Amino acid sequence: MVVGVNLGEDAKTVREFAREFDIPFPLLLDREGRSPLRFGLWGHPHTVLIDREGRVVGLVRGDRDWQGEPARRLIRLLLEGKLSAGS
């Protein structure tokens, strides 16, 4: 599942942004800005890959092409359980 996390903005602003940019996944609200601390993040954007057991198995800082084949291959490996926190 893909979810986005918005820091500090209200629900109306986030809904308008998602509609304007046709974002197909849920956007969660973090009004207090606690999620970056939980994952050790600074700056935007970040992608945190979490396996089926809830373990962080990847952290990507900055923009990436998540539509391309390398990203799809990575996600496939995660979904098939062939990649874990120890990989």
Same domain flag for 53 and 77: yes
Same domain flag for 85 and 45: yes
Between 82 and 45, the more confident residue is 45
Same domain flag for 49 and 83: yes
Same domain flag for 14 and 51: no
Same domain flag for 77 and 46: yes
At residue 86, does pLDDT exceed 70? Answer: no
Q: What is the mean pLDDT of residues 45-59?
A: 81
Q: pLDDT of 33-46, one tens digit each? A: 888 888 788 777 88
CA dist 65 and 45 (Å) reads 12
Q: List, in order, residues 6 or more apart from 17 with CB less than 8 Å away.
A: 6, 23, 27
